[in-house]
Structure 1
């Protein structure tokens, strides 16, 4: 192939700053730092639901949160542009003449920069599983033709895409390119490494396998390779009479009852299209979700992983070889030899009394240690460890090792490990949580009972309440995680399509959430701990693999399995029966009925002075243009007029005792249905700093707030104080202070009006 560019410093990590900017979005760190266990502060926002980072905002850290939606559309906040880069079946090519097609159900993705080309790079993308109904209509493994099975084979694995910004700032596929490549469920032959890569002693594993499949999430390495995780390998080779896939009709190698060729972490060099992928048996064989590394110069390399199964464990691998920056040939052997460990928590699962609850009945912090995984437990890891643990102590697995489905694991720049526990109906955990883990002495290689790690449940999923702004009601069923360079935590959600609002099996505890979404959670500053909704996914889909470019001017997001429930109630070929038309159409509005296609989306923030030709809608698909010669007709409630507000009976003076008992009464009249947010705030003396440096400053404090859906006409209501607000008012002890009542009303079209009134508290 023609002279491929080698990895840049941003990936190789030759300097700390380059390293963090290049790979922090993948959850990597090169430095040790003091462990931190501060409880995340949670404070309400004043007025608009605007997310702000603690430091200098990135293009994605300052936005107006979007409300939950059940529409068949991809939506980001106004001021952002979203466009489809590539979708299932799209063609691209290598310069050697090989014609390629983008695979199905794209999941993990990572951006690999090209040296000296800031607006150009490589995207490594996983394709998790096929969709027989949409691809050819035959859903029973025993009934498929060889051609249909081979179509499914080709649609999984990985894509390597050369991408570049065009003149309008849109990412496009460079084709042909020497980097463009497909790895499928059949090709190429993958090399096995590590202790089980042995035809004589481990014939079920052997030394090679045909391609890669079940490629869920993954990770990157500091030496510039991609790691792809083979997750639900068990679906491909079971009884073809009952399996959705039945690939063992093509080759018994796909039968997990006979072979152990799949279920590994696979390493690939995206910069070299001739690279032979390597499956590393030292990392164990289980339903791998992702990888996240901790690399300290000259020290043993550590890789964290989750087993994406309900009641499964969290793992880490500690290499034998040290990580040496700049020694790529040496580092490429790191994952071949080392020791695997599984986390043992003093109490591993978050349990609840009632389905949908957000307050657990079990501890939310504690300690644990890393238990060694024996070589004899590397194959079918979950089953063998569980059997050994239960033999030693009955019930020990569920008490100490079983967790609530660990999907993503990421590592912050200070070494703190974040784990996304999606959910577990067995212990009534319907919303999941994000757990934070700090190693003993902040040493990632610390293992054994003598080196206890500490953990705390950092953020829990679930409804924060109707009184919260629409974009802040809370997340549920967290999946992939990613950090931006200012330390904000980005979360995508993975509520099962059959449980989402609007489906026959809709679950009441997800009604508030509607479609799956992307959230940003600031981890410091006044909005720490609040999940702000940044993007809504189309009907019956989930967002996966969020990844920032090194300059953080673009966020790539995969949209996986839109219209997933169609297979259970649709008619193949009759598009009108499909539950999603995305991305070409919108089922909700009846726009352009078409087959739903998994797609890769790029999101960028528009500069305020962006020319009209660069402005693209913040919704995919955009509304259809009005017919030529006709003026567009406004939709009901979308006339562009702001709602009219009239406020009456707000007392100019309010006794503090009256405020504590009944809040602040008022009368509000609106000319159309609105969602009204009322916030009572005041500037109060607040102690800032600690010790001798502590001093009092005037700080704006929210005393109380209310959010109401109002019909057109007059309504009497009151803003009552929050518990914290009551404490602040009592602390005034009769001192006069002026409070401000801010009222904002938003109509169905998103038009806003606001008013303010001052009230003297005496």
Structure 2
């Protein structure tokens, strides 16, 4: 392809998210921290927001959308598609009888090494990296001869969430599903001028590198190492699949077919195209994968010329309304007009959802579930409540945004997959409102209240139940499409960037990573409260939610902060009262997971503000060592630790190493990191295990 003329310089922005580079802030979230937090409400209603709703909807449906080539020619077919598994396994329940959960590993010290570091006695290896072919017909990766067609059959860029589902009987075969959150074109191409000067093929390659990959993996029975597989004839697994920005989806739930999601290309409002900025996710009990669309706003242009009636909602979701063509933007509109809001404002409403894919059926159409609300989803994690209903917990990853949960109408039925696949289409969506026990003692310093805990109670406020809205002035569809505005109106509690929200399936308690919030307590911004106890919060905290009577469908809960992150020598940190001289420093918790004992919380970090690299940490939640947090793993220069995922047999830790080498000034030819192959940085998935076959953490 034609080489662009010049390298696009990075802008020097004023406010950085923790220890991220300018490059990461630009490509990851469109420099979100350099713009005012979208939640500027006083939790009051914008009275005229929907006054002219029908006019803007009609305006959003005019004009043609240029849709890309789709997935034809590279999708695998085979028996898996023709005869999908009737009841594939979901995640197994924690089993403390077989896995003690005792943590004895020697913690990895904070470091700045350009490698993955694991504790003594452990091995680790790369399972798959950007550009690895996974679909029949896809070529070997060649950084100098990339094409969009090739990338649609290769492992995508910047792997984030990963989930591992057992495949068949035994413990040596599995399907690994991986999100590809965003692209960094400066580190993907030897030259990338960006904006209006980028080669259209570069734009198409980047679009193809978004989405998800499904890859069959197998474990070596002798060594314990996981690898991607081919059959004896060198063919890829029939389950392997790429989902990207040209993949056809279908909407489910009450907003399906509403005027807010209709476009000229889809006048029925039922068939959105593509997924992007897929951050975290979760596994369902019926063996599918949920994935959250997060910073989708940064891919659109033309906000200045969007219809006036659409602008309040666009602004609340962080769309740029000040310029028409921001040259920092990837300019997807140059190859697909639908990304121009001046022509297709409703296209924005077709992103920001929880998607569900069935990795056991590679020909199945993925879905976007409108009943789970639209916002900047970090992910979604389900649990089966005591009464059999499915409850899904979610966070909106933005400064001063909210925690949500969904409760299904119907109950989970074991061995009835057809029924279970519809469980997320009908139910009730709630948002969290917290109350506090020691609010008069919170001064923004992080000082522990006199009762010895940051804690309180809370309520789940009902937003919508199927076609019924519980928010004055909103239809149910409006609640689901503009969920942030609905939650503003009912007075939800503004949190410090709620990211991954994970239920513990042993105890039913909920754990959410509140990553940080540099705006907390600034002039004109909300100050500290007991759940967000530090102003200008650089390091974040973990919140634990206990539903009333242990019932995950309850409308009331209690909460506490078991971990307030940072340097253990800092008085503002807290580790459940454990001796802080033994605790590893931790900053910016992002994703959380549990091992098979259900006793330990594993925490990955993003944007370490303490000067060392991001990592993976483990901490007991109960017993005499509760709060003894230790670092298990660290990642290379410029990278973020994503995942994590602990195998069901507790023998393997999986992590995604995202954006290695994403350091200001780095290029392919002048890399800041040479991990994993010694030439230039490539995102990759890593597994770590004990060669002696013992549980990880021991």
Change (3 A) 1:202 1:162: closer
Describe how 1:366-405 pairs up with structure 2 within 5 A: 366-373=456-463, 374=469, 375=476, 376-386=478-488, 388-389=489-490, 397=491, 400-405=492-497
Asked if 2 retains the 8 angstrom alpha-carbon contact of 1:12 and 1:326, the reply is no
Residue 169 of structure 1, aligned match among 224, 243, 246 = 224
Asked if 1 retains the 8 angstrom alpha-carbon contact of 2:370 and 2:425, the reply is yes
Asked if 2 retains the 8 angstrom alpha-carbon contact of 1:515 and 1:540, the reply is yes
Asked if 2 retains the 8 angstrom alpha-carbon contact of 1:306 and 1:409, the reply is yes
Residues 628-669 of structure 1, C-alpha deviation per residue, up to 9 Å, x if partnerless? xxxxxxxxxxxxxxxxxxxxxxxxxxxxxxxxxxxxxxxxxx
User: How far apart are the structure 2 equivalents of 1:95 and 1:140?
Assistant: 29
Q: Does 1:333 align with 2:422?
A: yes
Change (3 A) 1:606 1:289: same
**Structure 2 counterpart of 1:415:** 508
Residue 454 of structure 1, aligned match among 547, 558, 568 = 558
Residue 561 of structure 1, aligned match among 659, 663, 667 = 659
**Structure 1 counterpart of 2:257:** 198
More strand by share: 1
Describe how 1:61-76 pairs up with structure 2 within 5 A: 61-76=103-118
User: How far apart are the structure 2 equivalents of 1:343 and 1:265?
Assistant: 18
Q: Which structure is larger by alpha-carbon Rg, 1 or 2?
A: 1
Residues 204-256 of structure 1, C-alpha deviation per residue, up to 9 Å, x if partnerless? 69211222111100111101100111111101113443343221222233346
Q: Does 1:531 align with 2:621?
A: no
Deviates more, 1:281-290 or 1:294-303: 294-303
Change (3 A) 1:597 1:8: farther
When normalised by structure 1's length, the TM-score is: 0.65
**Structure 1 counterpart of 2:43:** none
Q: Secondary structure at the match of 1:63?
A: coil
Residue 359 of structure 2, aligned match among 266, 270, 277 = 270
User: How far apart are the structure 2 equivalents of 1:358 and 1:562?
Assistant: 35
**Structure 2 counterpart of 1:2:** 78
When normalised by structure 2's length, the TM-score is: 0.71
CA shift for structure 1 position 72: 1.3
Deviates more, 1:521-530 or 1:102-111: 521-530
Deviates more, 1:144-153 or 1:343-352: 343-352
Q: Does 1:596 align with 2:681?
A: yes
Residue 518 of structure 1, aligned match among 616, 629, 641 = 616
Describe how 1:13-162 pairs up with structure 2 within 5 A: 18-20=92-94, 57=100, 61-94=103-136, 100-136=153-189, 137-138=191-192, 140-162=194-216
Residue 307 of structure 1, aligned match among 375, 390, 396 = 396
Asked if 1 retains the 8 angstrom alpha-carbon contact of 2:88 and 2:287, the reply is no
Residue 242 of structure 1, aligned match among 304, 322, 327 = 327
User: How far apart are the structure 1 equivalents of 2:633 and 2:449?
Assistant: 28
Residue 674 of structure 2, aligned match among 578, 581, 584 = 581
CA shift for structure 1 position 143: 2.0
User: How far apart are the structure 2 equivalents of 1:232 and 1:169?
Assistant: 36
Change (3 A) 1:19 1:435: same
**Structure 2 counterpart of 1:181:** 241
CA shift for structure 1 position 372: 1.5
Q: Secondary structure at the match of 1:438?
A: strand
Q: Secondary structure at the match of 2:399?
A: coil
Deviates more, 1:436-445 or 1:475-484: 436-445
User: How far apart are the structure 2 equivalents of 1:361 and 1:128?
Assistant: 42
Residues 568-601 of structure 1, C-alpha deviation per residue, up to 9 Å, x if partnerless? 323x4432xx32221123xxxxxxxx21111100
User: How far apart are the structure 2 equivalents of 1:416 and 1:130?
Assistant: 35
CA shift for structure 1 position 307: 0.5
User: How far apart are the structure 1 equivalents of 2:293 and 2:207?
Assistant: 14
Asked if 2 retains the 8 angstrom alpha-carbon contact of 1:582 and 1:597, the reply is yes
Change (3 A) 1:348 1:143: farther
Change (3 A) 1:202 1:103: closer
User: How far apart are the structure 2 equivalents of 1:310 and 1:601?
Assistant: 30
Change (3 A) 1:150 1:430: same
Q: Secondary structure at the match of 2:596?
A: coil
**Structure 2 counterpart of 1:758:** none
User: How far apart are the structure 2 equivalents of 1:213 and 1:237?
Assistant: 12
CA shift for structure 1 position 433: 1.1
Change (3 A) 1:353 1:540: farther
User: How far apart are the structure 1 equivalents of 2:677 and 2:487?
Assistant: 47
User: How far apart are the structure 1 equivalents of 2:110 and 2:368?
Assistant: 40
Residues 140-190 of structure 1, C-alpha deviation per residue, up to 9 Å, x if partnerless? 322222101100011110000000123543211113110011001112x11
Residues 585-620 of structure 1, C-alpha deviation per residue, up to 9 Å, x if partnerless? 3xxxxxxxx2111110011112199xxxxxxxxxxx
Asked if 1 retains the 8 angstrom alpha-carbon contact of 2:89 and 2:165, the reply is yes
CA shift for structure 1 position 109: 0.5
Residue 230 of structure 1, aligned match among 293, 299, 303 = 293
Asked if 2 retains the 8 angstrom alpha-carbon contact of 1:424 and 1:432, the reply is yes
Count how many residue pairs are aligned between Structure 1 and Structure 2: 532
User: How far apart are the structure 2 equivalents of 1:446 and 1:265?
Assistant: 22
CA shift for structure 1 position 552: 1.4
User: How far apart are the structure 2 equivalents of 1:335 and 1:308?
Assistant: 21
Q: Does 1:365 align with 2:443?
A: no
**Structure 2 counterpart of 1:445:** 553
Residues 24-45 of structure 1, C-alpha deviation per residue, up to 9 Å, x if partnerless? xxxxxxxxxxxxxxxxxxxxxx
